Structure 1
Amino acid sequence: MSCTAVTAHRAQLGEGPFWDVPTQALYWVNIAGKQALRLMGGHLQIWQLPEHVSAFIPCESGGALVTLSSGVYRLDLETEALTLLCVADPQPGNRGNEARCDARGRLWLGTMQNNIGEQGEDLPITRRSGGLFRIDADAQVTPLLQGLGIPNTLLWSEDGTQVHFGDSMDGTLYRHVIQEGGQLDPAQVWFGPHARGGPDGSAMDSQGYVWNARWDGSCLLRLTPDGAVERVIELPVSRPTSCVFGGPNLTTLYITSAASPLDHPLDGAVLAIEVDVPGKPCHRFAG
């Protein structure tokens, strides 16, 4: 599979790719650089934000959500004005990390102890203070999990009764049954530690297989619904961070990445590869 970088931009910590089907636009973030980015019609636009940002997701009502260190905000894409939607995690010293919307357009946000300094430098993680929260269109917040290290991967089964969720600190991807009332059953180990790096963000294809980015592993793993490795997709970056299906037929896989000590030329780029199975579409925030 041949990879190409979709822009010349290189992120210190690229993350959170989102493909917007109605506008055929790719959204992503540079967490450490405090940037929200959109590639639409071949034009790259960058919004510089006041805090670290972990997700950039368009809203049905216009504009987009950005998950900043101090809360979840609406961003007016024209004026760049920020309006606070909610503070999902009140724990001091935490920041948002993984964030995606389910099929009902509700935002699920995983948080963690902040590990990024003001200049983008690494800070040590000393506690498992993160949580998982659901934010409804009316900004109501529902806590779902606590005691998380580094939350990554949020994917739902076709019928919406299960969620795949990972903790990179454990090197493990879990599966939770979603109760009728919306709470989660205890975690079931779905895919444990693997020699090719740690689990980061993921995307799901139309066959229910999970494509998982492997931090420090220079690859993606395509995992069967039963949690077995079906294939390894080698990548020309040291630290792939997440992926999403996009393009007119949802057969282009966009992969975000981060800088690394190995300093490969494409580290920090967003890569694109054509794959043989289409993916599932992303969902905008319902509010």
Structure 2
Amino acid sequence: MSCNAVTAHRAQLGEGPFWDAPTQAFYWVDIAGKQALRLIGDSLQVWHLPEHASAFIPCASGDALVTMSSGVYRLDLASEQHAPCLTLLCVADPQPGNRGNEARCDAQGRLWLGTMQNNIGEHGEDLPVLRRSGGLFRVDADARVTCLLQGLGIPNTLLWNDEATQVHFGDSLDGTLYQYSIHADGQLGRAAVWFGPHARGGPDGSAMDAEGYIWNARWDGSCLLRLTPEGEVERVIELPVSRPTSCVFGGPNLSTLYITSAASPLDHPLDGAVLAIEVDVAGKTCHRFAG
């Protein structure tokens, strides 16, 4: 598979890829660089944010959500890129010293947000993760917050089955992807280990294809793993970046896999780029926030 960088932009910590099918737009963030980015065709827009942001997700109402350190905000997409208009939606995680990390919307348009101890300094430098203070929260369209999990290290990957009875959710501090059942009341069952530690890096963000296989980005592993529904490695997709962080299916047929990445000490030329590769299976669509 050949891959190419979709823009010349290089992120310190690219994350949170989202493909908006109605507008054929690609959204992502540079967490450490405090940027929210949107690419439509060849036009790149970059909003400069006051805080680290882990996700940038369009809303049904026409604006977009950004999950920042102090809360979940609405961003007016018509606002100036150096003076973004932000309105607080909610504070999902009230724990001081935490920040958002993984965030996706389920098929009902509810935001699921995984949080963690902040590990990024003011100038983008790495800080050690010393405590499991993170949680998993669900934010409904009316901004009501439900806590689903606590005691998390580094939450990564959020993917649901078609019946919305199971969710795949990972903790990179454990090197493990878990599977949870979703009860009728919306709470989660016990964690079941679905895919444990692997020699090719640690688990980061993921995308699910139409066959139910999961494509998992491997931090420090320079690859994606395509995993069967049973949690077995079906193939390894080698990448020209050291730290792929997440991926999402996009393009007119949802057969283009967009991959975010981060800078690394190895300083490969494409580290921090968004890569695009054409794959042999279509992916599942992303869902906007319903509010």
* Pairing 1:187–2:185 present: no
Alignment correspondent of 2:201: 197
The correspondence of residues 24-63 of structure 1 with structure 2, limited to 5 A, is 24-63=24-63
Deviations 1:162-199 (A, max 9, x none): 00000000000000000000000010000000000000
**What letter matches 1:24 in structure 2?**
Q
Instruction: Pick from 160, 171, 185 the counterpart of residue 167 of structure 1.
Output: 171
Q: After TM superposition, which residue ranges in structure 1, 4 or more long, deviate above 3 angstroms?
A: none
- 1: CA distance between counterparts of 2:142 and 2:132? 29
CA distance in 2, matches of 1:206, 1:120: 36
Q: Deviations over 1:233-274 (max 9, x none)?
A: 000000000000000000000000000000000000000000
2-structure distance, mates of 1:213, 1:95: 21
Question: Could you tell me which of 75, 82, 105 is aligned with 1:101?
Answer: 105
Please tell me the residue identity of whatever aligns with 2:5. A
In structure 2, give the amino acid aligned to 1:137.
A
Q: Which amino acid aligns with 1:117?
A: G
With normalisation by structure 2, the TM-score equals 0.98
Aligned to 1:16: 16
Q: Pick from 219, 225, 236: which aligns with 1:221?
A: 225
Shift of 1:41: 2.0
Deviation of 1:124 after TM superposition, in Å, equals 1.1
Residue in 2 that maps onto 1:70: 70
Which string of whole-angstrom CA distances, capped at 9 and with x for unpartnered residues, describes residues 210-247 of structure 1? 00000000000000000000000000000000000000
State the match for 1:122 in structure 2.
126
- Give, in angstroms, the shift of residue 42 of structure 1: 1.1
Distance, in Å, in 2 between the alignment partners of 1:235 and 1:33 is 23
Q: Tell me how far 1:143 sits from its aligned partner.
A: 0.1
Q: Distance in 2 between matches of 1:274 and 1:44?
A: 21
Q: Which amino acid aligns with 2:158?
A: L
Q: In 2, distance between residues paired with 1:232 and 1:202?
A: 14
2:204 maps to a residue whose letter is: D
Q: Which amino acid aligns with 1:206?
A: A
Equivalent residue pairs, number: 287
Aligned counterparts of 1:191 and 1:123: Cα–Cα separation in 2: 27
Report the Cα distance in structure 2 between the residues aligned to 1:55 and 1:169, rounded to whole angstroms. 20
- Work out the CA distance in 2 between the residues paired with 1:121 and 1:164: 30
1:11 CA drift (Å) = 0.1
Counterpart Cα distance in 2 of 1:265 and 1:42:
21
| Cα offset, 1:65, TM superposition | 0.1
Offset of 1:129 from its aligned partner?
A: 0.1
Whole-angstrom CA distance in 2 between matches of 1:53 and 1:161 = 29
| Helix, strand or coil at the partner of 1:16 | strand
Q: Deviations over 1:95-132 (max 9, x none)?
A: 00000000000000000000000000111111000000
Return the alpha-carbon distance in structure 2 between the equivalents of residues 200 and 14 of structure 1: 12
Say which SS state the counterpart of residue 235 (structure 2) adopts.
strand
Q: Distance in 2 between matches of 1:184 and 1:42?
A: 41
SS in 1 for 2:268: coil
> RMSD of the alignment, in Å?
0.3
Alignment of 1:137 with 2:147, yes or no, is: no
Deviations 1:38-72 (A, max 9, x none): 00021000000000000000000011000000000
The reply on whether 1:239 has 2:243 as its aligned counterpart is yes
**3-state SS of 2:199 partner:** coil
> Superposition pairs for residues 255-274 of structure 1, below 5 Å?
255-274=259-278
- Cα distance in 1 for partners of 2:224, 2:40 equals 25
Q: Which residue of 2 aligns with 1:153?
A: 157
User: Kindly, what percent of the aligned residue pairs are identical?
Assistant: 84
